[in-house]
Amino acid sequence: MTHEEDAAALPVRPGKIIAIHLSYASRADQRGRRPAHPSYFFKPSSSVAPSGATIERPAGTELLAFEGEIALVIGTDARRVSADEAWAHVASVTAANDFGLYDLRANDKGSNVRSKGGDGYTPLGPRVIDAATVDPAALRVRTWVNGTLAQDDTTAGLIFPLPQLVADLSQHFTLEAGDVILTGTPAGSSVVTPGDVVEVEVEALGSGASSGRLVTTVVQGSAVFDASLGSLPTVDDTQRAEAWGSREAAGLPPADERGLSPELRAKLESLPVAALSQQLRKRGLNDVTIDGVRPLHPSAKLVGPARTLRFVPHREDLFASHGGGYNAQKRAFDAVGAGEVIVIEARGEAGSGTLGDILALRAHANGAAGIVTDGGVRDLDAITAVGIPVYTVGAHPAVLGRKHVPWDVDLTIACGGATVQPGDVIVGDADGVIVIPPALVDDVVEAALAQEEEDAWIAEQVRAGHPVDGLFPMNTEWRARYDAWRAEN
């Protein structure tokens, strides 16, 4: 087949483009979650573009990311075919780039309609490889950005083999000739900016047959989104980290260093919540306790910056649109970093669980410092056995949808009567949980340490038989004795 014939074999307007969310082990491990089964989304045929085309990064956006992939072009209709039969229905393989705009990702709830459906967001080509001549387990995909290799993996690294994807999709609907399946991207996907040139190539290992390099150039768009028609682009640090591939690549501090150095964390862990509360009160902050919650592990200390999750009261239509799929609750537990605390607004509603043992395990696996919810929890014994510190109003067997709709993450919330913002420092012990504004934490900690030292000295005097009158609080005489002791010791 000549190059001209190869180009003619490329689908310019496929009937369907089906893409998989996660399929390579390297990408799944990078994201910190391995799916048990493949999940998919559709892309419009108007997103197809040839090699050599440009792609616009829309005005007012920052997170346009490339994803080099292997595309399968269906040759003959497939309906309810087995995995053994599936590959015979694939006509060819070629290179694809599943571009995505993370600025539009949050409101699509996993459907990726706007974030991956833009014009030019599915370049294909430039040539095809006859599927009958290759081993689907021995294909290689590579991506270069401005000539530097960014992605390099083979289909041996897939969680779900290529024939399985064809067979799985065929049991739900007919795959028709010309349909395209995008089979997922390996680790290394990242953000590109105007002026960058992205190249993707698929190669058959052994024979060396190649798709050639699929070339796309990023340009800056000028059109702006109309807020009166729909939601505007928005990004947060979670989207930045996922688009770039890591917090480090995005220029963000490691998750366990968001405002807490190891020294500061150690000091907070040494201080009782009561001492911190006293210092905050002295500074005019009285409404900083998360009331009504009790620890599942009273002896465990909870310290970390807050990551917030908000539930709104249950409403059937809103739960239908926001409760399923990769909802806010799941995003929060996937995104929490080492040393961070998930704080949940559940309005004090104890008539439903706000998390269960699986999400507690996910937070624990991420290294989270703990979870605070002013709602109930399910699977109480199992959550307690996980070992991660959890504060809750109590146990309830009902699932989330009975009382709550998972609504949003990383925003200012109310939990147990206290306002909590992302990055606020959360400290908990058997007495309860307190919220410390980041700007005050150093001052509050040093003052609390000094007060703890003073209180320990007073306790020694009381144990020695001195009455508390004049000693607690200290009068001038006792203050002089304490100052002398401090100077000496």
The CATH code of the domain that includes 424 is 3.50.30.40
- Whole-angstrom distance, CA of residue 433 vs CA of residue 404: 23
Mean pLDDT, range 1-24, rounded to an integer: 76
The answer as to whether 352 is a domain residue is: yes
* CATH number of the domain where residue 20 is located: 3.90.850.10
Of 244, 268, 291, which residue sits at a domain end? Answer: 244
Supply angle C-alpha 389, 369, 352, rounded to 5. Answer: 50
CB 370 within 8 A of CB 304: yes
More confident: 246 or 56: 56
- Would you say how long the chain is, in residues? 489
pLDDT at res. 2: 47
3-state secondary structure of 263: helix
pLDDT at res. 36: 85
pLDDT at res. 258: 53
pLDDT at res. 468: 87
Do 457 and 435 belong together in one domain?
Answer: no
Looking at the chain, the whole-number percentage of residues with pLDDT higher than 90 is 67
* Statement: residue 137 has pLDDT above 90: yes
More confident: 451 or 302: 302
Query: Tens of pLDDT along 261-289?
Result: 788 888 999 999 999 999 999 999 999 99
Tokens of 293: 């919650």
| Among the ranges given (61-75, 427-441, 475-489), the one the predictor scored with the smallest mean pLDDT | 475-489
Looking at the chain, the whole-number percentage of residues with pLDDT higher than 70 is 96
**Minimal CA–CA distance to 211: which of 165, 142, 132?**
142
* Statement: residue 1 has pLDDT above 60: no
3-state secondary structure of 357: helix
* 23 phi, psi to nearest 5 deg: -140, -25
The answer as to whether 318 is a domain residue is: yes
Hey, how many other C-beta atoms are within 10 angstroms of the C-beta on 246?
A: 14
Residue at token pair 């990311």: 65
What is each CA distance from 22 to 149, 284, 344, in whole angstroms? 21, 49, 28
DSSP 415-457: ETTEEE-TTPEEEEETTEEEEE-GGGHHHHHHHHHHHHHHHHH
Do 367 and 314 belong together in one domain?
Answer: yes
What is each CA distance from 264 to 136, 257, 261, 267, 343, in whole angstroms? 53, 10, 5, 5, 21
The answer as to whether 360 is a domain residue is: yes
Do 216 and 180 belong together in one domain?
Answer: yes
DSSP 92-142: EEEEEE--EEGGGTGGGTT--TTTS-STT-EEB-S--EEGGGS-TTSEEEE
Mean pLDDT computed over every residue of the chain: 90
Query: Tens of pLDDT along 356-402?
Result: 999 999 999 988 999 999 999 999 999 999 989 999 999 999 887 78
CB 104 within 8 A of CB 90: no
- Number of folded domains in the chain? 3
Do 208 and 309 belong together in one domain?
Answer: no
